[in-house]
Structure 1
Amino acid sequence: MNYTERKAKNQVFFYITSGSGFMTPLISVLIILGAVSTAVNMVAAMVKRICNGIEKRLLKKGN
């Protein structure tokens, strides 16, 4: 059977689309979760950096 035949093309296309209906929302959710996780880590790092800076200033003023 030659893969350039119309029947073979439609059959392969059917298999690809049936799996993508499940995978597309799953991939979208994983991308969103990754973005949220990255944002939370960035905020936590900035808070830690700011708190350390404030603490150092307070310790310098106390001496």
Structure 2
Amino acid sequence: MSAAPYKVWQCRTCGYLYDEEQGDPNEGLAPGTRWADLPATWICPLCGTPKSDFDMIEL
């Protein structure tokens, strides 16, 4: 398990937040799923924006 702190990624289009620590169980992403482990084809579950159009944010 990586010791790096969990990060949060935000959709540029709709503001959906993907928190690595919490994952997104509704989308089949277990808590602790890292952004890098999401497939390149992953899209925002709310608006369909591609993964490449997310930004890491500091909370």
TM norm structure 1: 0.16
Would you tell me which structure has more strand in proportion to its own residues? 2
Would you tell me which structure has more helix in proportion to its own residues? 1
TM norm structure 2: 0.16
